[in-house]
Homo-oligomer: A and B are copies of this chain.
Amino acid sequence: MTRPQLSAYIPAAVLALAWLPAAADSVDREALLGTAQALFAPLPEVVDNPDNPLTEDKVELGKMLYYDPRLSQSGLFSCNSCHNLATYGVDNLPTSLGHRWAVGPRNSPTVLNAALHANQFWDGRAADVEEQAEGPILNPIEMAIPNERVAVERIASMPDYVAWFERAFPDEDEPLTYANIANAIGAFERTLTTPDRFDDFLKGDKDALSNDELAGLEVFIDYGCAGCHSGPALGGNIMARFGVVEEYWEATREFLTIDQPTMPMDVGRFAVTQDPDDLYVFKTPSLRNITRTYPYFHDGSVWDLRDATQIMARVQLGEEIDEDDMDKLMAFYQALEGEIPEHALRLPVLPAATADTPRPEHR
C-alpha cells in the first residue's frame, strides 16, 4: 500500500464551506441541508466490496467468527471483546486488554461504519476491513494465535465451520483459508452501518433534526470540523497530523484524570512509513456514534466528549469553543447516535469443538 497523501484525502466537498451562509438565530434548514449534503452523505445499508461480495451465508459465518473466542489462543477473546456490539462496537477502555493481560498501545476504534473508512487502524496500515481482520488474531498482545496455519487448523477442526466456509465461498477450491476467515469477518463488518435521523435529514427530510441539533450542525461546520470529519462517516476518510496548531499531548495533559498514567508517545503513521511527514499522523476517526465510543483519541486518554471537542478545536483549528456553541455541538452529536443492526445483535450459537480442536492456552 502506498502512503496516503493528506491532500488526496480532503474531499472536494470541503470547498463548499466557502459558500456557507452566515450563522443566524433561527436555522435556515434549506440552506443548511444543501451545505450538509455537500459535506456529508447518508450511510449506506451495507458497504459493498467487489472483491468480497456479500452473501447471507458469508455474513452469518463472519458473525460467528466475530463472536468466537476460539480465534484467540487463550479462548478468552473474540473480536467482540474489544469491539463489543453491546457497547457500540468498542470496549470503552482507554486501550484494550489482550493476551496475558497485555495493555495495548491504542484505543480500539468502533467497528460500526468502519467499513466506510478509506483505510483501517489508527495509522491506516490496512487497506480495508478484510485486511484489518487479519491483524488482531495473530497479534501476540491481542488474540495471540501463533500463526495463520494454527488459526485455520482450529477452525477446520470443526465440521460445522467447514460446511459454513463451503457455503460462504462456493466457487473456491479451498474455501477455508486464513484470508477467507478475514473475508467472512470483513463481510459481516460491511453490514454494520448505523443509519438514523441525521441520514433522514441528509436524504432531504428537513424536519428530521431538532433546532438544537441543526444549530449544532451549523456550529460544527462553522468551526471547520467538517474539514476533516466529512463524508458518510463524518471521518475515516483522511489521515491528518494530530496537533496542527499545538501538539496534542500538550493540550490533552490538562484533561487527563489524576489516576491515568501519562501516555507513552505514539508517533502515529510514522511507525508504518518512516516518513517524517507522517509523524503524529493518524486517521481522522468517524464521529458516528461518538457519544458512545468514549474514551477518545488514539490513546483513549480523554473521557469527556466536551473535553475532546475542545482539544480538537484548539490543536487542529486554533479555536476555543464557547459553552453555548459546545452545548449545540453536543446536541448535534446526539443525532449521530444510530441504531445497531438487529442481525448483528443476535448472538450466534457457535459450532462445537472436536477432539482435533487445539485447546486454549493461556500461558
Contact = CB atoms under 8 A, between A and B. Distances in A.
Contacts of A93: 74-76, 360, 362
A69 B292 CA distance: 15
Contacts of A97: 74, 76, 362
B349 A86 contact: yes
A353 B92 contact: yes
Contacts of A68: 86
Interface stretch (A22-30, A39-47, A270-278, A340-348): A340-348
Contact of A340 (B75, B345, B349): B349
Contacts of A362: 93, 97, 101, 103
A67 interface: yes
A67 to B, nearest CB: 5
Interface string A186-221: 000000000000000000000000000000000000
A303 interface: yes
Given A81-B76, A92-B360, A350 B101 contact: no
Nearest to A361: B259
A112 B264 CA distance: 44
A interface SS class? loop
Interface in A65-122: 67-70, 74-76, 81, 84-88, 91-93, 97, 100-101, 103
B91 A350 contact: no
Contacts of A346: 345-347
Given A75-B93, A81-B76, A86-B67, A303 B352 contact: no
A359 interface: yes
Contacts of A361: 259
A174 B31 CA distance: 51
Most-contacted residue by chain B among A76, A100, A352 (CB, 10 A): A76
A353 B352 CA distance: 35
Contacts of A74: 93, 97
Contact of A75 (B88, B92, B101): B92
B103 A101 contact: no
Interface in A321-363: 340, 345-350, 352-353, 355, 359-362
B91 A291 contact: no
Contacts of A81: 76
Given A74-B97, A292-B352, A352-B291, A86 B360 contact: no
A5 interface: no
A355 B303 contact: yes
Contacts of A350: 86-87
A359 B257 contact: yes
A297 interface: no
A169 interface: no
Interface string A10-43: 0000000000000000000000000000000000
Given A76-B81, A86-B348, A92-B353, 19 more contacts: A67-B86, A68-B86, A70-B92, A74-B97, A75-B93, A76-B97, A86-B349, A86-B350, A87-B350, A88-B349, A93-B360, A257-B359, A259-B361, A291-B352, A294-B353, A303-B355, A340-B349, A345-B347, A345-B349
Listed from nearest, the 8 A-B pairs whose CB atoms lie closest are A101-B101, A345-B347, A86-B347, A86-B350, A76-B97, A75-B93, A67-B86, A87-B350
Interface of A: 67-70, 74-76, 81, 84-88, 91-93, 97, 100-101, 103, 257, 259, 291-292, 294, 303-304, 340, 345-350, 352-353, 355, 359-362
